[in-house]
Chains A and B, each alone.
Chain A
Amino acid sequence: MKVEQIAIFLENKSGRLADITGILAEKGINIRAMSLADTADFGILRLIVNDTENAQKVLKENGFTVGKTEVIVVEVADKPGGLAGVLQTIKEGELNIEYMYAFTQKSGETGLIIFRFDEIDKAIDILVKSGVRLLSGVEVYAI
């Protein structure tokens, strides 16, 4: 139920995102989902790709600081209230969200929400018990 995500440290200077996407493109690595957290001085780019190992390797070879973390990907109905239900469950379970971001699937019927929790195992347990559908890594990498 855990999905691998890579995170890359970025200084706020022009061209760094283009560098990263260029490196990945060259190796034929496809980006499934991304989010960029930014502060005044630096940014953290988080990516889910179809080949985590390789992506991490080539980025490191190119001098980037790369970390690997585990996140979970939740499927919600693409309609008003779809996300609210999941967040209510998280609130009741007293889970602390480090960060989250969203993307939609091609079909447009469901949205996918990526969550990073401190206590990932507890989060999986609570969400699964409440009937929320979590995507496996294989499913996400193949989207």
Chain B
Amino acid sequence: MIYNEEYETLPREALEAVQLKRLQAQVERIYATVPYYRAKMDAAGVAPGDIKTLADINKFPFTTKEDLRKNYPFGLFTVPLERVVRIHASSGTTGQPTVVGYTKRDIKIWAELMARCLTAAGATPKDIIHNAYGYGLFTGGLGAHYGAETLGATVVPVSGGNTKRQIMIMRDFQSTVLLCTPSYALNLAESMVDAGIDPAEMALRVGVFGAEPWSENMRQEIEKALGLKAIDIYGLSEIIGPGVSVECIEEQHGLHIMEDHFLPEIVHPETFEPLPLGEKGELVFTTLTKEAFPVIRYRTKDFSRLITSPCTCGRSFYRMEKITGRSDDMLIIRGVNVFPSQIEHVLISIKEVEPHYQIIVERQGSLDTMEVQVEVSDTLFSDAVKRLEALAKTIQHEIKDLLGVSCKVKLVEPKTIQRSEGKAQRVIDKRKI
């Protein structure tokens, strides 16, 4: 099913015409209303009139989280506050929170985009949607909520936390669609088993998981553990929140970008030069229809590439490859780039290893050390020391093989690694650099 057939299947040429018209109007308005953006454009020697084709966006300066911080809280809004009906903010774990705003129209568009995403994932108005994304300043909860209501489904606004109660509600209500982070989906599956509840008692048939990068292996784990189809959804508050792109249930391969509202680019992660279509680099978005908080060339720090081949689902929107890592999550261990998702990939590919792990990075003298802690499950456990040592060695060896960096593997008792109630904390970096 396609929620907005007219736009989601627009032929490329017509779509690009829509994009160009919207882009020109958007840049024009930003230049006229936000002194900070105007100064940046002036300094770069560009003006709204320079946009003759979509590719001309390349000439414009990027927007980064740093720009958002400098203008905390409302400096980049393009409308007076009286027209802003909602504020969201990022968690701000790495500094000041970044604040975004929405007009009534922004909220309406966002709700439609989320309804499109849920439809792409196979949800219909008949579904009961268990929304375990956190409600509050985080965009996940309310974003998904409005989308599910717009779709006409029944929303259970359970938000994050209190896992036992969530399981009871999900079972008693016979919820059919689960919305949460992928790590929380695994937590739910595990908690069901602990509570002696068979996941088969649930009526879940599809899960829409996002807000953190996750691997194909993790998808298989979740699908097996919960007996549902796991769909990846992508978004970030700086662009709009969840609903920027989503996988279709037909392919589960690449996330269709809502291109009538967002213009994607892929740039080189170091030189920031635009890369040819299909090459992998940092994902950059320009909003095309946002009113309160539009951005030009926002650097997401997420790594992906664009898939331009047609999709069997019928949507004409380009797909972005599943995010494999973020430049923020990227650890540099003794000069080698390491993504937590790569470690996860190794762990899940070794039979019976639980995907509960934590990476601890320290610096001893001038040398970085990486320790990977892995929980020992009942199936993994052996009463013979040599087998457990062999297991630790295998993991160590595989990580070295894939990443080219050696690490220490520490086997830890079950449940000692903190479970995710939202975004999983995979890395503890104790280095003082």
Contact = CB atoms under 8 A, between A and B. Distances in A.
A63 interface: yes
A119 interface: no
Interface string B379-416: 01111110011001000000000000000001111111
A9 B381 contact: yes
Interface in A42-67: 42, 44, 46, 60, 63-67
Interface in B359-397: 376-378, 380-385, 388-389, 392
B383 A69 contact: yes
A39 interface: yes
Contacts of B377: 65
Contacts, number: 54
A139 interface: no
Contacts of B415: 63
Given A9-B411, A11-B412, A65-B377, A39 B389 contact: yes
A99 B385 CA distance: 9
A51 to B, nearest CB: 19
Interface size class, chain B? 10 to 19
Contacts of B384: 44, 98-99, 116
A33 interface: no
Contacts of B382: 7, 67
Given A39-B389, A41-B411, A65 B376 contact: yes
Contacts of A63: 413-415
B109 to A, nearest CB: 47
SS of B interface (majority)? loop
A10 interface: yes
Interface centre among A9, A37, A41, A42 (most CB of B within 10 A): A9
B376 to A, nearest CB: 5
A69 B378 CA distance: 12
A67 B377 CA distance: 10
SS of A interface (majority)? strand
A42 B411 contact: yes
Nearest to A37: B385
A66 B411 contact: no
A85 B385 CA distance: 27
A76 B411 CA distance: 37
A124 B139 CA distance: 65
Contacts of B380: 65
A66 B376 CA distance: 10
Contacts of A64: 413-414
Interface centre among A5, A11, A69 (most CB of B within 10 A): A11
B75 to A, nearest CB: 49
Contacts of B416: 11
B383 A46 contact: yes
Interface string A3-16: 00101011100000
Given A41-B410, A116-B383, 5 more contacts: A9-B381, A9-B411, A66-B378, A98-B384, A99-B385
10 contacts: A7-B382, A9-B388, A9-B413, A39-B385, A41-B392, A42-B376, A44-B384, A44-B385, A67-B381, A69-B383
